[in-house]
Amino acid sequence: MPDESKRVLWESEVIVTDLIGRLIEFWGFKRNMGRTWAVLYLSPEPMGARELQDALQLSSGAVSMTLNELLRWGVIKKVWEPGQRRDHFTAEVQLWKMVSRVIAEREQKEVAAAIESCEAALRSLAGKLASSDAAERKRAELQRQRISALLGLARLGGQLLQALVSTAKVDAEALSRIELSR
């Protein structure tokens, strides 16, 4: 049974929680989500909300909201501790499982939206490409070429993400064929 007394983070934990907090924030999540996950990841025992509050110097409301978000993302789990009335939590330790879930739920949606937008932009050019005005046709053709390149890149990104999530491997051959500039 874990000791419910105040938990003081070791220097190694402070360094790693700061690192993970910054990385998670860069990825668009709240810094405290990364910090909380990291404390749980480095903990040999499940921890209660009060322990996390003390260790991270956060309010009980901030810890509660953070734990709920981390549970929703599936990166922590509630565990039953015999003799304890309060919930305790552990981190998901399979790192790839966490990353692939985020990729599947967030990045793939963004890529799909980018593909839809590029396709809509190309459809909207149809009338301009058939225009009797040569300058308008020229502008439309330039945009068709450039939007098509963006669409190709978005589709490739979607394929790479799908391959990464489904196999945990990426064949970089397709990347080597991308023409990034002319």
The backbone torsions φ and ψ at residue 6, rounded to the nearest 5 degrees and listed phi first, read -55, 130
Whole-structure pTM value:
0.68
Per-residue pLDDT tens over the stretch 164-174:
878 765 555 55
Q: Which residue has the higher pLDDT, 178 or 42?
A: 42
Higher pLDDT: 60 or 181? It is 60
pLDDT tens digits for 98-128? 888 888 878 888 999 999 999 999 999 999 9
pLDDT category at 156 given cuts 50, 70, 90 is very high
User: Whole-number mean pLDDT of the chain?
Assistant: 87
Mean pLDDT of 36-55: 95
DSSP string, the chain: ----SPP---HHHHHHHHHHHHHHHHTTS-HHHHHHHHHHHH-SS-EEHHHHHHHHT--HHHHHHHHHHHHHHTSEEEE--TT--S-EEEE---HHHHHHHHIIIIIHHHHHHHHHHHHHHHHHTHHHHT-S-HHHHHHHHHHHHHHHHHHHHHHHHHHHHHHHHHHS---THHHHT-----
- Quote the pLDDT of residue 182: 42
Confidence of residue 55 (pLDDT cuts 50, 70, 90): very high
At 175 the pLDDT is 54
